[in-house]
Chains A and B, each alone.
Chain A
Amino acid sequence: MRESRLQLFLLVLAALFYPITERWLAPWQVTVDWPFLLLFWIAFRRGRVAGCFYGLLLGLLRDLADFSQLGATALSFTLGGWLLGTLREKVDRENLGVRLLLLAVVYLLVQAVFLFVRTGWSPGAAFLAWLRYALPGSVLSAAGYLASLLLAAFLREGLGLLREPLERR
């Protein structure tokens, strides 16, 4: 299994458990946004059409957790997927630092769109509260992406070590 697919698998797994981690593993109300990381992975590899489509899908799935915001995350993720798919052509995709920076910036933009949609395009005092969770959230999400990458590499090495003796026979 290739490393990128392993990472995709881990991200899907993490996204599936996101409602649990968001509720129970969120110190200071901040957690890694695994669905967004999944969107990042898809859009950065497949382009803006896939980013757009999967952004809508993942956003809708997240919106289902809170009926009052139905469409808000879908819209912000759609735009985020489009932006990521567009920017992938303009940055050095092999550079991990660039990727992480792009992830953090787009995450902030997506959260900003979400904030504006939720507040009727006039955030006001909610902006400060947004900053309190959006800024650490972007850092945490970048760290989560890095962790998934490292874990995928580690697993790949581990699987390779396991596979080697079998191949020698």
Chain B
Amino acid sequence: MTLTGWLRRHRDRAVLIVCLAVSFFLLTIPETLRFTLARALAAAALAPADGAVWLGRHLERLRGENEELRERLMTLSDDLGRAEEYRKEAARLRRLLDFRAAESYRFLPAELLSYPLSFRERNLVRVDRGRRDGVRPGMPVVSPRGLIGAVHTVHAYHAEVQLLASHNFAVSCRDMRSRVLGVFKWDPRRGFHVDRVDLGEDVQVGDRFMTSGLGDRFPEGFLLGTVTELRRPPGALRLEIQLAPAVPIQTLEDVFIVTRVSEAAPGFPLPTDAPADSLEASP
């Protein structure tokens, strides 16, 4: 009887023998090899289950991410809506500012060409803007820190600016804290000071004075200086107020010429008919 014939005849016993042989083989192999084999079998047998578990976890993670992204989308949509509102508001404010600038001030940037040799003798600086740029005598000249002076003489391509430290220069001013009015002046003896303030007025050391807009010369709101000393001389009717200038001339760099002031701006007529190369300005 051949082996094939015996297997056909005793198929059940053959299966039993093979199954038992496999079991015994698995029992007798070395432990390390058994672990390796078991791990491989487990990986193969549990691969679909592992895949299902992985898929489930992956789907769960995706769901979490999806929720998070939807939440972020909502937040961003909300932010976007607000940003749009802010943009519109900014545009509106910009329009208002442009309107205000157009209707009140235009600042023409200018560069200093020369400094005075001596502030006491000749208080003029030269800037690189002139008649061709629309500069006219009497226009205020400012820096970001406050008032500097006014245009004195205009040439085609440059102009001379009279500084505050001129003995014939007077500016109507106001205490920013107490709203007390006075006249800002300079003279070689006293330096910068405020005149015409009565003894009983509320002025203190450290108060800041700005242009009041009165007096038909300078627009309101430009800083002039800070009170450093306050005296009440016996028998005098007015206070003696010493100021430190808001813009020290020695540190002057960027200046702006106020080229346009609206009719509505308080007390400042626009000098439009001044001669182009006039030697004398309004002061």
A59 to B11, CA, bound (A): 21
Query: Closest Cβ of chain A: how far from B219's Cβ, in Å?
Result: 86
Is the pair A49, B15 in contact by a Cβ cutoff of 8 Å? Answer: yes
CB-based contact B12/A70 at 8 Å: no
Could you tell me how many residues of chain B have their Cβ less than 8 Å away from some Cβ of chain A? 23
**CB within 8 Å for A72 and B27 given contacts A48-B12, A52-B16, A56-B22:** yes
Is B117 an interface residue, CB under 8 A from the partner?
no
Give A33-83 interface residues, CB cut-off 8 Å to B.
47-49, 52-53, 55-56, 59-61, 63-64, 67-68, 70-72, 74-75, 78-79, 82
Number of interface residues of A (CB under 8 A): 24
Cβ of B39 and Cβ of A78 under 8 Å apart? no
- Return chain A residues, CB-CB under 8 Å to B102: none
Q: What residue of chain B has the Cβ atom nearest to residue A73's Cβ?
A: B23
8 Å CB interface, B14-68 against A: 15-16, 19-20, 22-28, 31, 34-35, 37-39, 41-42, 45-46
Assuming A52-B12, A53-B15, is B27 touching A67 (CB within 8 A)? no
State the CA gap A72–B15 with chains docked (Å). Answer: 18
Which partner residue on chain A sits nearest B14 by CB separation?
Answer: A49
Residues on the A chain within 8 Å of B35, using CB = 67
**Which of B27, B31, B42 has a CB less than 8 Å from the CB of A64?**
B42
Question: Of A48, A49, A78, A85, which is within 8 A of B23 by CB?
Answer: A78
Q: Does A117 contact B (CB under 8 A)?
A: yes
- Per the 8 Å Cβ criterion, residues 208-246 of B in contact with A are none
CB-CB contacts below 8 Å: A74-125 with B: 74-75, 78-79, 82, 85, 117
> Is there contact, CB below 8 Å, between B38 and A52?
no
CA distance A55 to B39 in the complex (A): 20
How distant is A21 from chain B, measured CB to nearest CB, in Å? 16
A52 touches B23 (CB 8 A): no
Contacts of B34 in A (CB 8 A): 67-68, 70-71
Cα of A64 to Cα of B39 in the assembled complex, Å: 8
Q: Is the CB of A53 within 8 A of B19?
A: yes
Question: What are 14 sample pairs from A and B whose C-beta atoms fall under 8 A apart?
Answer: A47-B12, A48-B12, A49-B12, A56-B19, A56-B22, A60-B41, A61-B45, A63-B26, A70-B26, A70-B38, A71-B28, A74-B19, A74-B26, A75-B27
Residues of A within 8 A of B (CB): 47-49, 52-53, 55-56, 59-61, 63-64, 67-68, 70-72, 74-75, 78-79, 82, 85, 117
